[in-house]
Structure 1
Amino acid sequence: MTQPLGVGRVTFKRGGLAESVHRVHAAVVDARGQTVAWCGDPALVAFPRSTSKPVQALPVALGAPDLPGDELAIACASHAGTPEHLAVVARLLARSGSTVDDLRCGTHPPFDPEVAAGLIRAEEAPTPLHHNCSGKHAGMLLACVLNGWPREGYTDPAHPLQVRIRELHAELGGVGLDDVHVGTDGCSVPALALPLHAVARTFARIAAPEGELAPALERVFGAMRAHPFLVAGAGRLDTTLMPLVPGLAAKMGAEAFYGLALRETPRGPLGIAFKVMDGGERARPHVALAVLGELGAPVTEELRALAPATLHNWAGREVGTVEVEVSLEWAEQNPAA
């Protein structure tokens, strides 16, 4: 395994002084499963959180090969709770004969601020449908029905569905089952922690599917690419980034984790995983653009606008800068350089 070198960092400065420093670890894996580049420690064990959703959606993709792409996309989503999102979740939920009462994700206000404000004005409480993970849970309920597993207890780590999802993480990540650490996510399903290179290998498999899982992986990749709005929502990084980068499927996770499946690079398909150690999510777009640039993706003005180098206050005055020091170490010479 490669040895960890310099940790990347994103520094937010005000008046020329560092105000916040966000340290970064990253791994890049090719279609052969080899770690070809890294920043910091590619063996760092971290929780991908919602970055795991494309893998968590595989049981329903495998069990329902004719599932519409928008419903598969919402099963991979951390959605914003808009009416468009909720309509697709409701349709997916109905396929298993389930209702909102069967969802075990809990409830939080919609991520979309206008929808959240509308509920307040209407004096309506959010429901589990508004939870950003409700699509994932609807997909899990359908996977249970398709596989003859009980819907009851579907979030329990010992449930057959969650056991299968853990196995898929190990298989795609190229690690042993004991290397997949089990915690609990915000929506009550198991949160699975793996080394960064294992998550990057998983996204490399999404970018370049092979083996028995290839058809399902290809459908997940295609659904995310075809329905970027459903994967997140207006103004959010996944939704904005995917249409701007050819051959990219991207999935954010809580606490500033990110996974990217990139098909079009000088090295062929690649999988990328990175973690901002302090969970500082404002650093995420800066890291994503830096890594994409080093991998040979064209960084256009539209992309640069996602991670501006200057900071402005509410009056529009420039008050600071952002310095990005995220340079990949390569196992061999970088052909994109």
Structure 2
Amino acid sequence: MTTQPGQVVFTRGGLPESVHTVHVAVVNASGKVVAACGDAGLVTFPRSSSKPVQALPLALAAPELPGDELAVACASHAGTPEHLAVVARLLARSGSTVADLRCGTHPPFDPGAAADLIRQGEAPTPLHHNCSGKHAGMLLACVRHGWPREGYTEHGHPLQVRIRELHAELGGVGLEDVQAGTDGCSVPAFALPLHATARIFARLAAPQGELAPALERIFQAMTAHPFLIAGPGRLDTTLMPLVPGLAAKMGAEAFYGLALRQTPRGPLGVAFKIVDGGERARPHVALAVLEALGVPVTPELRALAPATLTNWAGREVGGVEAQVGLTWG
């Protein structure tokens, strides 16, 4: 399904200042594309929106894993002490240490946590990387499945081969339709049609088949622990508690995946991509899509995507308009 792409327009002084083009796909529990805005077949990288799929081998191999540890395996966390404690616990389950993580190192996303490190004269470690929970989960999945921990980030490793297969299976596409690059944390990043990623989130919203128990555990972990999925002030963490039956996962370069259990049209999966990577437009698209799907927009939800822009002095200087019209098939 291909329609006119959506736009998020930021204005200043009544004039358009920046325009972000948007593509959206909506899939129902049967795997059918039921609505779109733009090109539902756009091939793009979900980036961290793939984390629920990347956590599936872990969920399958460790059914007893506590929900908070499964949640942090799906997370792009902010590096707060609360996040680090859960990642460390997950890491220890496989007999691994921080030295075994191959995600690299960056300062915590949370400004307070980053400032604390500076005050303490400490450097960030791989544990602070937003993907360290995913990597800790991958190490445990390797141990439980009998795969080597060494080389777990490589494209040919059994874990990554299985994750690529799961993208194809859940997305309803052929393996040849799942293209591969390398993510910022060194694991494979898989690209697939937008409707396929929406179908993955529809499967998360309405699990079925032999993967259903593991998908259900991932959904429950994400929705029960929204703070662990992202962190203070970040969209996943603030959005999920405001929408009953929603699991949401952001990806880099302005991708977003939504698994909705309670809409007038039943369970739905949504994936959208803001083409230029303009992440400031993401909450505006999310709100417009939720409203189009019949989700009641409360004042708390509306506050996530203000229609006015203010400067540092608190003066109104511009506005934002999300033009995301879904065409129903």
Q: Give the TM-score normalised by structure 2.
A: 1.00
Match in the other structure for 2:320: 322
In structure 1, distance between residues paired with 2:110 and 2:93: 26
How far does residue 5 in structure 1 lie from its aligned partner after superposition? 1.5
The equivalent residue for 1:154 is 152
Query: Where does residue 108 of structure 2 map in the other structure?
Result: 110
Inter-partner Cα distance in structure 1 for 2:273 and 2:261: 21
One-letter amino acid matched to 1:311: L
Q: Distance in 2 between matches of 1:287 and 1:323?
A: 10
Shift of 1:121: 1.5
Runs in 1 of length 4+ with deviation above 6 angstroms? Answer: none
- Name the counterpart of 1:313: 311
Q: 1 CA distance for matches of 2:113 and 2:218?
A: 27
- Aligned residue in 1 for 2:4: 6
Q: Which residue of 1 aligns with 2:203?
A: 205
Aligned twin of 2:89? 91
One-letter code aligned to 1:170: A
1:176 aligns with 2:165: no
Alignment match, 2:297 = 299
Counterpart Cα distance in 2 of 1:265 and 1:139: 32
User: Residue 121 of structure 2 corresponds to which residue in structure 1?
Assistant: 123
Residue number in structure 1 paired with 2:229: 231
* In structure 2, C-alpha distance between the alignment counterparts of 1:108 and 1:265, rounded to whole Å: 38
Q: Percent same amino acid at aligned positions? A: 81
Q: Please state whether the residue corresponding to 1:314 is helix, strand or coil.
A: coil
How many angstroms does 1:227 deviate by? Answer: 0.1
Matched with 2:281 is 283
Aligned runs of 1:182-261 on 2, under 5 Å?
182-261=180-259
| Structure 2 residue matching 1:145: 3-state secondary structure | helix
Q: Secondary structure at the match of 1:126?
A: coil
Q: Deviations over 1:278-327 (max 9, x none)?
A: 00000000000000001010110000000000000000000000011001
Counterpart residue identity of residue 329, structure 1: T
Q: Deviations over 1:221-248 (max 9, x none)?
A: 0000000000000100000000000100
Structure 2 Cα separation of the partners of residues 68 and 117 of structure 1: 30
Q: Which residue of 2 aligns with 1:139?
A: 137
Superposition deviation, residue 120 in structure 1: 1.1
Residue 334 of structure 1 corresponds to: none
Shift of 1:118: 1.1
SS in 2 for 1:10: strand
Matches of 2:84 and 2:121, distance apart in 1: 19
Greater alpha carbon shift after TM alignment, 121-130 vs 308-317: 121-130
Distance (whole Å) between structure 2 residues aligned to residue 8 and residue 273 of structure 1: 13
Q: Deviations over 1:179-210 (max 9, x none)?
A: 00000000000000010000000000000000
The one-letter code matched in structure 2 to 1:186 is G
- Cross-structure match for 1:39: 37
2-structure distance, mates of 1:122, 1:69? 31
CA distance, structure 2, for counterparts of residue 297 and residue 95 of structure 1: 40
Shift, 1:267, TM fit: 1.1
**Tell me, which stretches of 5 or more residues in structure 1 are unaligned?**
332-337
Structure 1, residues 89-121: CA drift from partner, whole Å, max 9, x if none?
000000000000000000000000011011112
* 1:23-65 residue CA offsets vs partner (Å, 9 max, x unmatched): 0000000000000000000000000000000000000000000
The amino acid of 1:250's aligned partner reads A
Aligned counterpart for 1:80 among listed residues 78, 81, 87: 78
Shift of 1:252: 0.1
Q: CA RMSD in A?
A: 0.4
